[in-house]
Structure 1
């Protein structure tokens, strides 16, 4: 468990999968309401590979929950040493020297508290603690507001990769903008 004074971050336990999914569902609904087709409309109701993948990440201690000072779970994300295999060839200096952040979501009730920024700072420190050079993300190519959000938090775009969507023949995945920021101490 790590605490930065206002945010406590720790791996989600298997019995906390509903909390992780609730945070993801809230973020997915918010995106859908704004016409941003980035995630499924509901992770909980999505009966595809996503549910098994998320459960697997939770079970392996790769998905985290962030708690505010009252102990309420206000954010979730997955952090792994494995790049998305569809985008691995796009990273400029290989994949071994980074941690990769996936599916970050912060509850709307924490809007304006910089919870997302504090999660990213925590993840950058975690990358440094593990001897990595970079914290990396691949984000939706067609969401400029999301790209701007990460740029304001120190990420730099280092490439863009088009990859087929394995769930829909002939469709290209929305993700593929590759961004990174330096790991910190």
Structure 2
């Protein structure tokens, strides 16, 4: 779903791949898109970056790549002068929600949007980092 949004994120340079020895192991999308199904107009006007589609390959789970990616995104948000790093998680996945809480995110509220499993909204201050997991470096290719 939302293929057009994913393609737009890639074209805009907002989708990142984490690789180890040139093999992709994780991905994260970080953009300024406040999903209108979840975030209010007032919240969407606040200075924030939003995390979408964070995925880690199962064979590298346990390396705390997710924590490292969230720290990386939090630094990017702070560098851009944002106040918040935000995300939405599946409403019915308590384990995932607990994961974000243990990484410094506060639960804002849970909303239901028709046809959407997400709706548990979380945020943490931009620049806040946990300092766990591998060091991630941003590389650009010309």
TM over 0.5: yes
- Ranked by relative contact order (alpha carbons within 8 Å, sequence separation 6 or more), the top structure is 2
Question: Deviation at 1:65?
Answer: 0.9
User: What secondary structure is seen at the aligned counterpart in 2 of 1:94?
Assistant: helix
Q: Within 5 A, what are the aligned runs for 1:86-165? A: 86-89=37-40, 94-95=43-44, 96-165=46-115
TM-score with structure 1 setting the length: 0.64
Q: How many residues align?
A: 127
Aligned equivalent of 1:168: none
Instruction: Work out the CA distance in 1 between the residues paired with 2:55 and 2:13.
Output: 17
Partner Cα distance (1:94, 1:52) in 2: 24
More strand by share: 2
Secondary structure of the 1:136 match is strand
- Cα distance in structure 2, aligned partners of 1:94 and 1:128: 17
Note the C-alpha offset of 1:80: 0.8
In the TM superposition, residue 78 of structure 1 has moved relative to its aligned partner by 1.1
Alignment gaps of 5+ in structure 1: 1-48, 166-172
> Within 2, Cα distance between the matches of 1:82 and 1:152?
24
Task: Give the 3-state SS of the residue equivalent to 1:158 in structure 2.
Answer: strand
Map 1:1-185; keep pairs closer than 5 Å.
49-68=1-20, 70-89=21-40, 94-95=43-44, 96-165=46-115, 173-184=116-127
* Structure whose alpha-carbon radius of gyration is higher: 1
Partner Cα separation in structure 2 for residue 118 and residue 103 of structure 1? 15
Partners of 2:43 and 2:34 in 1: CA distance: 10
TM-score if structure 2 supplies the norm length? 0.83
Write the deviation string for residues 98-124 of structure 1: whole angstroms up to 9, x where unpaired: 100001001112111101110000000
Higher helix share: 1
RMSD: 1.6
